[in-house]
Amino acid sequence: MTNPLIEVKNLKKYFSTSSGMLHAVDDISFSIDKGKTLGMVGESGCGKSTTGRALLRLLEPTGGEIYFEGQDLAHLNKKEMRKMRKELQIIFQDPFASLNPRKTVSQTILEPMVIHNMYASNKERQEKVLEIMEIVGLAERLVNVYPHELDGGRRQRIGIARALALEPKFIVCDEPVSALDVSIQAQILNLLKELQDRMGLTYLFITHDLSVVNHFSDDIAVMYLGKIVEISSADDMFLKPMHPYTQALLSAIPVPDIHYKSERILLKGEITSPIEPPKACRFANRCAYAMDVCTKNEPKLVQLEPGHWVACFLHSDEIEE
């Protein structure tokens, strides 16, 4: 952790609802080194996508700081942020919703370059479009095709090409493969990996699929109801998961071995409401090891081993104030 490209400090995103403030992302901090991937896992509604969007200020954060190369994104004005978007891109989950149906492939890839006035002439930009299409594995003949004529995998490649058009340093991958067929998932993942090696990209990789994140990430952060409950290197996370929630998640990964007897940890109970959550461990009412203290105080994310942080009273008594 010498020179993080992205450093998030106490990021918060609340939504106001009729029954109170919904704490979608509640005071989380993490950092990603240049050229690395942080995998962010958690179940639906835990705030992982919101984190990605708040990070890029597609949603305005309620609080906290986001440092990109030392500059705080959270406090840039609208105009400065628009310029900054060149460096920070996002790949969306649903390749059917994330492409304008009235724009051809080349129009979609061209637009970011036009907005940021890249390259001297339109001709140069057109050439660049073809170059990017080749990089992401789109045949040149598809240049004037509309998205509805293409399958999910190709559409996702267009989405990736659009993000790459700006030559960003950091990309939020918001479940980029979960809407795709399994056979295509691997292709897209390999493409993303290849692009990272080639261009030195830094990823925040959001997913609910742990088997995907294992192959892809250097570090993993596990989110539960707007909080990071555990964060460590990917290897550590799989070898020594410490938080009961992480253990339950990991036990749910299917193992392709007929003789393997899995000890599946089944979570019981309902998810705590994210609206005005009480000061307690948010996982307590589903946790098999819940103690008295868990319902009375909120555990603090503490470093138990080098690079391995956990927020659980089983491992530390420290209380989040």
Partner 1 sequence: MNMKRKSPRKKGPIFEVARRLAKNKSAMIGLAIVILLIVVAVTAPLFYSYDEQIIKQNIGNRLQSPNAENLLGTDALGRDLLGRIIYGSRISLYVGFTTVAFAFVVGGTLGALGGYFGGIVDNIIMRFMDIFLAIPGTLFAITIAAALGSNIRNLILALAISSVPGFARILRSSVITVREVEYIEASRAIGASDARIILNHVIPNALAPVIVHTTLNVATIILTIAGLSFLGLGISAPTPEWGAMLSDGRTYLKTHFYMSLFPGVAIIMTILSLNLLGDGLRDALDPRLK
* Binding region for partner 1 (CB under 8 A): 53, 56, 58, 82-83, 85-86, 88-90, 92-94, 97-102, 104, 111-112, 115-116, 140-146, 148-149, 159, 162-163, 165-166
Two structure tokens written together for 166: 């700006």
Two structure tokens written together for 35: 């050229």
Residue placing its CB nearer to partner 1 in the complex, 53 or 169: 53
Residue placing its CB nearer to partner 1 in the complex, 179 or 234: 179
Residue placing its CB nearer to partner 1 in the complex, 101 or 254: 101
Smallest separation (angstroms) from partner 1 to the CB of 123: 17
Two structure tokens written together for 252: 């749910």
Residues in the chain: 321
Residue placing its CB nearer to partner 1 in the complex, 143 or 271: 143
Query: How large is the angle between the packed helices 152-164 and 182-199, nearest 10 degrees?
Result: 20
Amino acid at 130: L
Smallest separation (angstroms) from partner 1 to the CB of 111: 7
Residues in a beta bridge with 8: 30, 66
| DSSP states of 106-154 | HHHHHHHHHHTT-SSSHHHHHHHHHHHHHHHT--GGGGG--GGGS-HHH
Smallest separation (angstroms) from partner 1 to the CB of 286: 31
Smallest separation (angstroms) from partner 1 to the CB of 10: 23
Residue placing its CB nearer to partner 1 in the complex, 96 or 238: 96
Smallest separation (angstroms) from partner 1 to the CB of 137: 17
Identify which of 133, 164, 135 has the alpha carbon closest to the alpha carbon of residue 150: 133
